Structure formats: structure tokens, C-alpha cells
Amino acid sequence: GAGVSQSPSNKVTEKGKDVELRCDPISGHTALYWYRQSLGQGLEFLIYFQGNSAPDKSGLPSDRFSAERTGGSVSTLTIQRTQQEDSAVYLCASSFMGLAGVYNEQFFGPGTRLTVL
């Protein structure tokens, strides 16, 4: 596709339920990032994928959060046993992984707004 796409655009769930958020990066982009935007914490990094591997998971807030990427393309962020503090907009970004030290712009998707009741 032309840009990064995410689905669903909105998700309302009950506390304690599991949710899955999907990201389709720009074709050919090997790097993929998940961020979270909330009123209290602002924009925060969650996890980084290079291909199907996640060498940087340093931003995941708890073990209820996990993510995977398959075929070097689509990524799914899963939140188990959702809590109200998980309510936020989850943004995905992708970039072309070029040479080390060379700037690789991140392109952001439209986000998924998650509301936990």
C-alpha cells in the first residue's frame, strides 16, 4: 500500500479482555516500531522489529504486552487482560533499514484508539 495502515481504527473493550492490534507497514520497510500515545505519558516507544525479530522490547510496560511480526511484514500487538490504564492510541511506524548510521525516516500509521471500560 501507499502508507502504513493499522486496524482497527477504534477498539472498545472491557477490562480483563485480550485485544489484538494490527499494523501493515510500507512494503519493503524492514524496520517496524510500535508507540503508544496517552494523555498522561505522552508518546512512548514500545517495541522495535527488524524483520521478524524484536531486538528492542525495552518499552513494553508489562508482560501483558507482546508483539510479533510475520513474513517481515504485518505486525500484531497483543494486550492481555486489559486494564483501564492501557487506554491510549497505539501508533505503528515503519522505515527502510539502510546502512548503519544513515538516516531512515519513520512513517507513521493512523493509529488505533483503544478504550478499556
List residues binding other proteins (CB under 8 A): 31, 33, 35, 42-45, 48, 50, 53, 55-56, 58-59, 91, 95, 97, 100, 103-111
Beta strands in the chain (DSSP E): 5-7, 10-13, 19-24, 31-38, 42-50, 53-56, 65-69, 75-79, 88-95, 107-108, 112-116
Residue with cell 512512548: 44
